[in-house]
Amino acid sequence: DIVMTQSPDSLAVSLGERATINCKSSQSILYSSNNNNYLAWYQQKPGQPPKVLIYWASTRESGVPDRFSGSGSGTDFTLTITSLQAEDVAVYYCQQYYRSPCTFGQGTKLEIK
């Protein structure tokens, strides 16, 4: 199985500041034939199911604020939230869908400092 490892496990950022969450896969999830990285980012707020933010590593889902962005390729990926808002408090997960089983990172809990 492809192991997804997120860092840090938790993060406290001041309102209006930048939050950066990293995700590393145990093998490349870049599919060379289409140059797509098979990685998505999800946000989960308490008591709610996850919501997709980013797919193909850097494509923002429709309706997601542009302060959320994804980057990276191969095995190393980053979710960046510029200008943190109070409503961004949540747990964030990365997921690879390059190969079954589609594995998730362990999650990163984002809080307000």
Binding site for another protein (CB under 8 A): 1, 36, 38, 40, 42, 44, 49-52, 55-56, 59, 61, 91, 93, 95, 97, 100-107
Q: Which is nearer to another protein, 25 or 95 (CB)?
A: 95
Q: Which is nearer to another protein, 82 or 97 (CB)?
A: 97
Do the bridges between strand 68-73 and strand 10-13 make them parallel or antiparallel, or are there none, so unpaired? unpaired
Cα 1 to chain centroid distance, Å, stands at 19
State the minimum distance, in angstroms, from the CB of residue 49 to another protein. 4
92 close to 52: Cβ distance less than 8 angstroms? no
Q: Which is nearer to another protein, 16 or 101 (CB)?
A: 101
Distance CA 67, CA 30 (A): 25
Q: What is the DSSP letter of 61?
A: P
